[in-house]
Amino acid sequence: MAKVLLLAGDGIGPEIAAEAKLALERLAPGVEVEEALIGAAAIRATGSPLPDETVAAAHAATAVLKGPVGDPEFDAADVRPEQGLLKLRAELDAYANLRPSVQGDVDLLIVRELVGGLYFGARGVREDGTVFDTCEYHPDQVERIVRRGFALAEGRRGRLTSVDKANVLDTSRLWRRVVDRVAPEYPDVQVEHMLVDNAAMQLATSPEQFDVIVTENMFGDILSDLAAAVTGGLGLAPSASLSDSGPGIFEPVHGSAPDIAGRGIANPAAMLRSTALLLEHGLGLYDEGRALARAVDAALALAPTPDLGGSATTAELGAKVREQLEVEARP
């Protein structure tokens, strides 16, 4: 039996996770849902942002559905909620982060390398007070994310934009060499290289030109948020982080919003859209995932939450999504 590990997270996490669980149970009733702790909630309960029990449950799961983590209480602490997320990605080798951005004429997918680069390189403080963070990539790390980008472009509109900073960085020059070496294996995909500063400008001014963007960790972090802002904002943006063999991680990209936690007004759309990606990429239930994505779009128009100028509560939008699923399922 397929098993989904639900990590509700912090702040508004439990509220939006509850709606995602209801949608998942509606669309995949045979899937077992197990819950565990991560982030600030885990620190308070166990002292660790990612307890061993959660790691074991993640490895045993078919897919992981995670809410946002973070709490101002731990912002300056040595042990922080966000460390749990980074460790979970590394534990599952969830190296391929997919960030779709769709609105109007814009339909692009950013494929971000997630377990290498600046965020995982050597770091420290030298005796003279200099602080350093190192960006490191092995050719194998680059090749596997590049191949993932090519494969996804093949199934879309056949255009791949590889983003780097090859005019300055050795890691980017490696990245570009790997792309050029792999490209002939995908003759149906049109490839272009683009420097990251130009890519940011192009995303802001004419995002409709892009199909699939593949890039390294930090560039992908920044560009995917820009793409989300261009197509409706972070509050609506889902993500999937995939490995080659183990479970993927599916999560909204917005924060834990502790200022509105417990008020029942959080928008669960990004969490529900992440659940749609889980159904499609994590459980192989493509039709169910597409149905949920359409239901979320319809529900947002009918029952917008306060952040979108409406008055629907978290639970009311979730209920409207399930109502739209029932409407779609009628003959």
pLDDT given at position 331: 66
The total number of structural domains that make up the chain: 2
- DSSP assignment, residue 80? -
* Confidence at 234, pLDDT banded by 50, 70, 90: confident
pLDDT given at position 208: 97
Q: What is the CATH number of the domain that holds 272?
A: 3.40.718.10
Residues 6+ away with beta carbon under 8 Å from 232: 103
Model confidence at 92: pLDDT above 80: yes
Residues 216 and 316 in one domain: no
Give the catalytic positions in this structure.
119, 165, 197, 221, 225
pLDDT given at position 55: 98
What tokens does 244 get?
């080659």
Mean pLDDT of all residues in 238-261:
95
Contact 41, 73 (CB under 8 A): no
Model confidence at 328: pLDDT above 90: no
Domain boundary among 188, 215, 237: 237
Task: Report helix, strand or coil for 201.
Answer: helix
Q: Please give the model's pTM, rounded to 2 decimal places.
A: 0.90
pLDDT (tens digit, 9 = 90+) per residue, 289-311?
A: 999 999 999 999 999 999 999 99
Residues 126 and 230 in one domain: yes
- % of the chain exceeding 70 in pLDDT: 99
Residues 58 and 176 in one domain: no
User: Sheet holding 3-7: strands in order across?
Assistant: 32-36, 3-7, 63-66, 248-252, 238-242, 96-103, 106-113, 212-215, 159-164, 190-195
Could you tell me the residue range of the domain that residue 175 belongs to? Answer: 101-237
- Percent helix, strand, coil in the chain, to 5, is 50, 20, 30
